[in-house]
Structure 1
């Protein structure tokens, strides 16, 4: 090829002297383009100690996979100099400007791979790039660890702690989110109290202060509560309203299931008047807010109230608990919130519905933290949403081989890491006005 082509690709690859493209070999049958890169210098600065103008001792052959050029797989090849330093006495291989040390990919290729893995399963991204998925996992772990090491957690004050499942068989990962920054701070296998201590140590390693954590929003996990008491001494615990209402929904569903499968003649006679469509309408209407009911669901719920079944009482209890939370949010009065919750617990205990009696006892046991969760208006809804995204990623990947892979993807997608390589396909500079006008 002409000299102009080599100069063009030297510029396209971002090379500066003493590096330049010496030869370009295009193989259309193999759909591949190879660039021979040369270092023209006979002396270089020592990579070890920085002493200038040290002689090149020898050169070692290396190759790197690069971004595709058009539809062609691209490779860079170079005889990389080794510098013999008279100052430190070491012979060290020079660094190349297009790749990090020890990698068989250029930095631009790795940046592309990371950007693809932020939205695609790693195996699918590997197939698109025509590499092995294990190669991508190594790059993800490297860059995620590098970016997390630079993360600043000094301003973290409010955290949400929860667990998410890794696979069947009680394999869990504890996740800690910054409720103000809306980012994943920490993830580790397990869901016992020691996971909170691991978070506190990681927080301090990133410039944070465990004593500065003022609030921790959790579900009713005794392990997390114990861990917060030991490792986050100034954090007030509030039990997330999302989980409390979810417990009420579970209690309501339990009442409905037991009643509808029962053999009581009165119940079966009442339900016998309903077709399968009406039963489904009741089931979904009980789980939704009345404002979201369809006309069919509204009619079905009207029937349920007139039928005077236990399911109707369970639904009224669930809705009453939601109303307790709504009033607490409106009035922001600790005394009134505590009184309203106390009345609801008393009603639940007198309801003769076993699932709600258990729920009432649970809320009484954690009364102060539940009231605090009612008043501070914080919840783990964001944490649950992020857990949903993590589970979605797990399903798309058909599971992860290890907890480390699961956690690495969670950090990559949810950690808001600010020190990752920039995608090579970032938007180009906008054209200046009139630059291409005819």
Structure 2
């Protein structure tokens, strides 16, 4: 009921306004010599084949997604029953633990393969050791400087808000800010002492490091190589920070903590619920808008097209009947605020490219050596990896993004194969498990 009311009150009330907005937004785009708003957004990616490129990346990722989807559906059926989660059908969206079913981490307790294994959530240990939000930021800064990257200036510490201010109404969504004077960089985050927020801190500090590295460029070039680059930098470091190796190194896990196969599968599945589950949602957010802006979809089919895409790509369905009186896309902030979303899809691809390249540079990963799996790499304190990352960050937006990509990865294109490599042990396990469970992979689209 809560999900239904949210969609009615947030999305439903803006439907007529959105139709008028599309008209005005497209008019503004045409005044800037673009055919429509979708084309205007895509200028940042400097590719005439960008839409096809994204579809190709999704097709690389899709086989793994289908295996995860099948396994999660089977576990949800065990919990809720065949009548609620039938075989061969899309999963009801409200069972996936998130308002928009965009990530599935909140159902980790229902789908964890080996519940008895030690958790890698070090939140209790952080609290035991007296961690504070400031210490979390200091440790994140130390990760960057250990690689030979830049420390934050004094203005960062005096101007940032890293805890919720008592008695103040605040937008607590974490964000990083460049005040464009070469020294004033800030983060606003209502930080809590949790492992999840520890990773968020590294993500936001990645933005700050990017700001620092390109601060001396002309203002027009002080940005990411493309929108996805800025989002990917901190996340690529967070992949290193959340490894057992790193957590042991910084004293949040006992050095004797074992990493057996079952614990590895738990860890990779928990990560996949946040990463792989997000890909199709991130894709359809803008695929829907590209179709709306270029006129392929008329206002009479706004909601129908939304749910067609969600079923086709995500394999989910609405738990209640929807009609064109509803406007479910509008229940997501980025639709209402007109924030392009494909940057997150791009960032989730390239963060694994960055991570793999930095791991190889640090001597922490060899694709031909099975004793060094990619998901166990930690390039903390490695100056060579830091130098490679710095070369890319310092370019800002002064060079086409393929050149920036080449500086850190040696490739000049986006490639989802690093993502598949990272999760390979889990994908192999899921294929075998789904066969064992007799769970069909995929879904019928006949409703």
**Which TM-score band (shorter chain)?**
under 0.3
Bigger relative contact order, structure 1 or 2, given CA contacts below 8 A and separation 6+? 2
Relative to total residues, which structure has the larger strand share, 1 or 2?
Answer: 1
Give the TM-score taking structure 1 as reference length: 0.22
Give the TM-score taking structure 2 as reference length: 0.22
* Higher Cα Rg, which structure: 1
